[in-house]
Amino acid sequence: MENLLRPLIVVGGSVVLTLVIGWATDFLLRKADERHHDTPLWGLLRRGRIPYQLVLFAALLRGSYDEAQLLESRREGIGQALTLVLIGSTAWLVIRIAAAIVETSYSRYASARAHRDPARVRRVRTQVTLIMRVVSAIVGVVAAASMLLTFPAFRAAGASLLASAGILGIVAGVAAQSTLSNMFAGFQIAFGDMVRIGDTVVVDGEWGTVEEITLTFLTVRTWDERRITMPVSYFTSKPFENWSRGTPQMTGTVFWHVDHTAPVEAMREKLRDVLRECPAWDGRAYDLSVTDTTPSTMQVRALVTAKDADDIWTVRVTVREQMLRWLSGEHPYALPRVNTADAILPPSWNGHRPSPDGVPNQQRRFHGSARPER
């Protein structure tokens, strides 16, 4: 009976004590979060309650395992499993605590500079994301190494592993040189301010917004909600357009091909009226000019401005649509058309030479819409 009660008491006591301590800690964090609304640290720390309870349970059960006398024949195996759970849950808890601290620091910085320098906020956000990934990777590697060292076979091989670490490092570097280059490129992007999360970029002719940056790859969300994933080394080895670099303000163009008789001055006035009614126009500047001409049409270009890439797209499509509607309704003659007027023959044409079928040329009408001048 004692052999059955003692394990139940130890395990049950560990569970109850873990739940009580976990509930008390969560209660204190919740109260602190309610008192300090401007500091998200306490609310973020509550995300670590599961790994925190795992650490408590594994530590309590591991410490009282010898007293419990659970499965004497498998004592070493159960103790090894509890040690592994303790190491893994500790690493999980450390990552959650580090994430809470970093996220709190970023939130304070963003709230202070969000209106004054949004580009700087996006840069810090990119750096914070990559720092957290590095911290998670380091903690994961240390936890995995600690777990391996708990096995006697790995401890015995430790000396030989350390002796051959230099050779293994060289081999691994050669084998994973592309991965390492992407990792270094990720650090260069994060701290070199080349591209940030939220920037509007154009890569390989695709326009989109940077959605995610990791140590090895970068994701761009296009305007039609596709995701383009590419290695971060692309941005350090090839040119690309960053429309959010510096100030987000942009100047866009709209082109029309119209007839030579189009009322250019009236088009300028209409452009001004359309922009005044467009909320996306920032009011900085606008212009309309004839930039090119062909035998049948002339090219008219409008310049418009907006505060960012999204608004410049809205302004361009609005101006294009409103101007075409106005031209077709008020000045239909200004739209491009194909001329079908009678052909004008050269002055040397006399119109009296007989044709092969005997009909005088001055009485013949040419095929199509062309005819001789009278």
- For the residues 315-325, what does the mean pLDDT come to? 93
Residue 165 has pLDDT above 60, yes or no: no
Distance CA 291, CA 306 (A): 22
Name residue, tokens 């100047």.
251
Residue 6 has pLDDT above 70, yes or no: no
Residue that wins the pLDDT comparison between 111 and 182: 111
Q: What is the pLDDT of residues 214-227, one digit of tens each?
A: 777 788 888 888 88
- For the residues 46-75, what does the mean pLDDT come to? 73
How high is the pLDDT of residue 266? Answer: 92
Instruction: Compute the half-sphere exposure of residue 128: CA atoms within 13 Å on the CB side of its CA.
Output: 20
- For the residues 185-206, what does the mean pLDDT come to? 76
How high is the pLDDT of residue 113? Answer: 60
- For the residues 362-373, what does the mean pLDDT come to? 42
Residue that wins the pLDDT comparison between 37 and 158: 37
Burial of 274 (0-12, 13-18, 19+ CB in 10 A): buried
How high is the pLDDT of residue 276? Answer: 92
Residue 66 has pLDDT above 90, yes or no: no
Q: What is the pTM of this model?
A: 0.46
Mean pLDDT over each residue of the chain, to the nearest integer = 75
How high is the pLDDT of residue 301? Answer: 94
Q: What is the pLDDT of residues 248-300, one digit of tens each?
A: 788 889 999 998 889 999 999 999 999 999 999 988 889 999 999 988 889 99
- For the residues 231-248, what does the mean pLDDT come to? 77
The percentage of residues in the chain with a pLDDT greater than 90, rounded to a whole number, is 14
Highest mean pLDDT among 147-161, 307-321, 330-344: 307-321
> 6 Cβ partners below 8 Å, 6+ apart?
67, 68, 69
Residue 5 has pLDDT above 70, yes or no: no
For the ranges 53-62, 71-80, 212-221, 294-303, which has the lowest average pLDDT?
Answer: 71-80
Q: How confident is the model at residue 356 (pLDDT cuts 50, 70, 90)?
A: very low
Residue 75 has pLDDT above 70, yes or no: no
